Amino acid sequence: MNAPLPVFLTAYDPAELPGGTVDPLGFTAGYLVLADLLFPGMTAAAAQATYLPMLCAGLSIAQTERGLGALSATAARKRRIDIALRFERLWALSAALQLPTQSPADDADAAPPGDSKTAGLRGITYVTRQAERLTQAGAKETASEFALLAQQYRYGAFGIYGGVAEQLRLLEKSTFAPTPGFGDAIGQSFLDATTDSSQRKELIRACLDATATVRLSTLKAWGAKAHPGAPLTGAARKVLGDAAVLNSDRARTLALVERVAAKRVADDGTGSLFEACAEQASEADGEELGVALQAARTYDNFLRNFTLIFERTLWLCRKMNDAEQSATIFGDSVIIEACGTLGQRAAAFIAASERVFSLGKRELGERGRGILDVARHARSLADVPSLVRLVRKRHADIQRGKFDQGRPKQAWIEERGSEFALSSARIGIRSGEPTAPEHVRGPDWRFGAAVSLLTVTGRLAPKAAT
């Protein structure tokens, strides 16, 4: 089977900034609106929940430093960030020390999901190399000043998890001070539960002083208890669990995920947890949740079908040295089948959206970047050429809304006379042939982040997260 094509929310466009959202067909805005109905305050990128207590612990250490209150607000915020960044680096290294010496792929920037003590760890390549350097040098200790990601603040705990931590009321974003009732309690408990007194003093000293060192034996012992995905204990487990359900909409979806995921383990279930939740949601879960899940489900089906037409056109052009006859594209069996089901999927999405609107939630129409108009247009068309051109036009419109050095970006596909052609030789490179909507990777609707949060807070057994 072909691997899913990573088009949605990935760094696909070669002209985009690294790590930027590409979204060549403008589906992100609608996805974010619908995902917020399911898991408000969460994100798909913040998918390793152990980052939350880890970040709280680093900021809690900063709060204990004498003299912080004498600094200006700006200086105090920077000091908290510097200390927490050191703590993050040492934590990442402690996780990497749990693994045997290895040579990760050069282009990896996060550990793959799975039953691993580095699952979801950002900067896995950097930190594994640091662990290898220390091992090869026979080092017994290390300082905290080593590289973790090209831009740690942007792509590490602060950039990816800071907003979620704020939504969970774990920190105050303007100061990065941990909140007294939640963040500070979680951070202190995380430290207490994963270190003994001497280890804790050693870690704190290395975080407060950039010149201080910490023994590798201390880091390895700490990582055995504090690694990504490790279930929390003590107050951190309860308080983070309480923070997760402060929002009633988030609480109801987490409860459904907990029930369905646990049942899937008992039944040895397979397939998508997202689909299973959409199928098993009942009246007891609330009307709004059922409506939101169906809207997300129909949106997912529509975007995969729509994107397949786009991806297939790219692939056909690339196959023929960057250009293919329009007649060949219109006569392609995969495109014909995709166009044949697009109207039905568009109609289902529109109907589900109207049910969302009936509940007074109109954000999809206001912030969906015109995706409902596109769906209505797709529903009204029947012939393949018109639908292929609709997809290409949507892409061109989205590209024109992006700017490179002050100028609108060029569409990846152009229609020139009797053929479709790629606008750049760097476009359309794929590892496999797209032949079905399932070969297009859609969003995970934040279910990965939800499962991780439920697992580390003890509401799901680790087996249920697989």
CA distances in angstroms from 236 to 2, 26, 156, 240, 456, listed in the order given: 42, 39, 21, 6, 10
- Element of type H or E holding 391: helix 384-400
Contact 216, 223 (CB under 8 A): no
190 plus 292 within the same structural domain: no
What is the distance between the alpha carbons of residues 176 and 368, in angstroms, rounded to a whole number? 32
56 plus 186 within the same structural domain: yes
Contact 102, 91 (CB under 8 A): no
The set of residues, in sequence order, having a beta carbon less than 8 Å from that of 19 and lying 6+ positions away, is 11, 154, 155
CA distances in angstroms from 81 to 319, 419, 455, listed in the order given: 49, 54, 28
Query: Does residue 23 lie in a domain region?
Result: no
Specify the pLDDT at position 266: 64
Specify the pLDDT at position 2: 43
Query: Does residue 280 lie in a domain region?
Result: no
Specify the pLDDT at position 271: 72
Specify the pLDDT at position 105: 44
Q: Which of 31, 28, 12 is nearest to 20 (CA)?
A: 12
What rounded mean pLDDT belongs to the chain?
89
Specify the pLDDT at position 13: 36
219 plus 353 within the same structural domain: no
Specify the pLDDT at position 268: 60
- As given in the structure block, the two tokens for residue 391 are 């997809």
For 193-206, what is each residue's pLDDT tens digit?
A: 999 999 999 999 99
For 333-379, what is each residue's pLDDT tens digit?
A: 999 999 999 999 999 999 999 999 999 999 999 999 999 999 999 99
Residues in the chain: 466
Q: Which of 178, 163, 433, 169 is nearest to 318 (CA)?
A: 433
Query: How sure is the predictor about 428, in pLDDT bands with cuts at 50, 70 and 90?
Result: low
62 plus 175 within the same structural domain: yes
Instruction: Return the residue matching tokens 């249920």.
Output: 464
What share of the chain has pLDDT > 90, as a percent?
A: 78
Which of 246, 275, 302 is the C-terminal boundary of a domain?
246
Query: How sure is the predictor about 99, in pLDDT bands with cuts at 50, 70 and 90?
Result: confident
34 plus 69 within the same structural domain: no
Query: Does residue 310 lie in a domain region?
Result: yes
32 plus 106 within the same structural domain: no
Specify the pLDDT at position 236: 97
Specify the pLDDT at position 321: 87
Question: Is it the case that residue 47 has pLDDT exceeding 80?
Answer: yes
Residue 376: domain span: 28-39+285-439
- As given in the structure block, the two tokens for residue 389 are 């051109």
Which of 219, 246, 273 is the C-terminal boundary of a domain?
246
HSE-up of 117 (CA within 13 Å, CB side)? 19
- As given in the structure block, the two tokens for residue 345 are 């999927």
The set of residues, in sequence order, having a beta carbon less than 8 Å from that of 339 and lying 6+ positions away, is 309, 383, 384, 387, 388
For 213-234, what is each residue's pLDDT tens digit?
A: 999 999 999 999 999 999 999 9
Query: Does residue 1 lie in a domain region?
Result: no
Query: Does residue 408 lie in a domain region?
Result: yes
Query: How sure is the predictor about 115, in pLDDT bands with cuts at 50, 70 and 90?
Result: low
Query: Does residue 65 lie in a domain region?
Result: yes
What is the distance between the alpha carbons of residues 375 and 29, in angstroms, rounded to a whole number? 14
**Within 10 Å of residue 320's Cβ, how many Cβ atoms?**
15
312 plus 173 within the same structural domain: no
Specify the pLDDT at position 465: 52
Specify the pLDDT at position 205: 95
- Return the DSSP state at 177: E
For 254-291, what is each residue's pLDDT tens digit?
A: 999 999 999 887 666 567 899 999 999 998 899 999 99
Query: Does residue 225 lie in a domain region?
Result: yes
Question: Is it the case that residue 248 has pLDDT exceeding 70?
Answer: yes
Specify the pLDDT at position 106: 37
312 plus 410 within the same structural domain: yes
What is the distance between the alpha carbons of residues 282 and 385, in angstroms, rounded to a whole number? 41
Task: Compute the average pLDDT of residues 81-100.
Answer: 95
Backbone φ and ψ of 28, nearest 5°: -60, -45
Which of 246, 270, 293 is the C-terminal boundary of a domain?
246
- As given in the structure block, the two tokens for residue 151 are 């831009």
Specify the pLDDT at position 154: 94
Task: Compute the average pLDDT of residues 411-416.
Answer: 94
* Identity of the residue numbered 338: A
34 plus 78 within the same structural domain: no
Task: Compute the average pLDDT of residues 51-62.
Answer: 97
115 plus 194 within the same structural domain: yes
Query: How sure is the predictor about 35, in pLDDT bands with cuts at 50, 70 and 90?
Result: very high
Q: Which residues are registered as beta bridge partners of 413? A: 422
Specify the pLDDT at position 66: 74
Q: Which residues are registered as beta bridge partners of 67? A: none
167 plus 238 within the same structural domain: yes
The set of residues, in sequence order, having a beta carbon less than 8 Å from that of 422 and lying 6+ positions away, is 314, 317, 318, 322, 323, 412, 413, 414, 428
210 plus 294 within the same structural domain: no
Query: Does residue 254 lie in a domain region?
Result: no
Number of structural domains found in the chain? 2
More reliable by pLDDT, 134 or 465: 134
* Identity of the residue numbered 439: H
**Within 10 Å of residue 196's Cβ, how many Cβ atoms?**
11
